[in-house]
């Protein structure tokens, strides 16, 4: 047994040595994992012990990795054009199992390919590669996803980004909310550019609803920019109460700032609802621990002044109405007394 342990330790050192390839290390391990291999020094021991004993867990693990291994982890090498590297990964990627996929579809390779991506053809191939990574449970980094979506939007390939967002199965595990907000804002811009084409507007609105529903399933923390978009989208559709409700949810999560509050309360110079806007602003500032910028401070002061003036004017109006009512009643009483006196005479 000491010789067996020494052999395994030696094999493990050989396995993790930089001078030895993975396949050579697996063959070295397999020599001691199989006691019936020809020329094995362990055959001189008790055969009954090796026939009845269970395989060691570490040897079973190495055997499993050896069965799942299909080639050199250094292929494809990092270098060349983004298109060549992407095509090579797409060529070998479908042959990989889920355990071995991270050995080939590594973060440095993906980041190199996404950084040197320039043409629309490279973007299309990158979309296929990202879908392959999603299928193999190799989750790309935030940098890779963000750069891919930005490249799609800059090169008029929003449909390519949308197709990836719709087809990826495990998107909720690695998609940052900020990247999804960029796609949402792009489709809002397309709606604004559609003057009279109602069919396209409905199509884009449906896409926005689908992406917003997908946003609620993300494992990433919901960002301040996403709340800001939801508030602006609700106001764009004319649902002010829904926008206020979303703003209160954002304040509860401490994901609101002065800019978002000002966007919610626009138009700021409206005097009729100054009191209601002031109440909402004070609640959001207090609940969300919002830092007051200069513009928000000016709004709060002006809204407070307008509310006080409106209250005083309402008070004056109420007093005048009461005085007029008292004078009217006095005149009625005086007229009734005069009529009673004349009738008595």
The residue ranges of every structural domain in the chain are: 2-68, 74-220, 237-345
Q: What is the pLDDT of residues 59-109, one digit of tens each?
A: 665 555 555 555 555 667 888 899 999 999 999 889 888 988 998 899 999
Q: Is 154 exposed, middle or buried (0-12, 13-18, 19+ CB in 10 A)?
A: exposed
Q: What is the pLDDT of residue 231?
A: 94
- The confidence score (pLDDT) of residue 119 equals 92
Q: What is the pLDDT of residue 1?
A: 47
The rounded mean pLDDT for the chain is 77
- In this prediction, residues 290-305 reach a mean pLDDT of 86
Q: What is the pLDDT of residues 239-280, one digit of tens each?
A: 989 999 999 999 999 999 999 999 998 876 676 677 888 889
Q: Return the SS3 of 70.
A: coil
pLDDT (0 to 100) of residue 300: 86
Q: Which helix (H) or strand (E) holds 59?
A: helix 57-68
Closest CA to 299 of 267, 251, 257, 252: 267
The length of the chain, given as a count of residues: 345
């Amino acid at each position: 047994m000491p010789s067996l342990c020494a052999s395994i330790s030696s094999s493990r050192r050989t396995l993790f040595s930089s001078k030895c390839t993975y396949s050579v290390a697996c063959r070295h391990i397999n020599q001691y994992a199989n006691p019936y291999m020809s020329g094995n020094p362990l055959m001189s021991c008790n055969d009954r012990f090796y026939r009845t004993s269970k395989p060691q867990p570490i040897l079973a693990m190495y055997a499993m990795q050896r069965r799942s291994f299909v080639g050199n982890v250094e292929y494809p090498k990092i270098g060349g054009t983004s298109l060549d590297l992407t095509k090579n990964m797409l060529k070998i990627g479908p042959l990989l199992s889920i355990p071995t996929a991270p050995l080939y579809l590594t973060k440095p390779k993906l980041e190199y390919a996404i950084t040197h991506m320039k043409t629309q053809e490279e973007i299309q191939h990158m979309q296929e590669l990202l879908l392959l990574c999603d299928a193999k449970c190799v989750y790309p980094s935030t940098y890779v996803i963000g750069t891919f979506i930005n490249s799609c939007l800059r090169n008029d390939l929003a449909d390519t980004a949308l197709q990836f967002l719709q087809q990826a199965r495990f998107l909720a595990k690695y998609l940052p909310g900020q990247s999804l907000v960029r796609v949402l804002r792009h489709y809002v811009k397309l709606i604004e550019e559609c003057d009279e084409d109602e069919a396209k507007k409905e199509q884009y609105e449906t896409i926005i609803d689908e992406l917003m529903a997908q946003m609620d399933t993300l494992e990433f923390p919901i960002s301040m920019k996403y709340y800001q978009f939801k508030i602006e989208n609700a106001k764009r559709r004319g649902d002010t109460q829904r926008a206020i409700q979303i703003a209160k949810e954002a304040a509860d999560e401490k994901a609101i700032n002065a800019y978002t509050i000002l966007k919610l309360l626009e138009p700021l110079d409206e005097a009729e609802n100054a009191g209601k806007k002031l109440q909402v602003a004070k609640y959001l500032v207090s609940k969300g621990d919002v830092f007051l910028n200069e513009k928000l401070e000016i709004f709060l002061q002006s809204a407070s002044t307008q509310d006080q003036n409106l209250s005083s004017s309402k008070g004056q109006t109420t007093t005048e109405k009461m005085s007029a009512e008292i004078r009217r009643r006095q005149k009625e009483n005086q007229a009734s007394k005069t009529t009673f006196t004349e009738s008595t005479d």
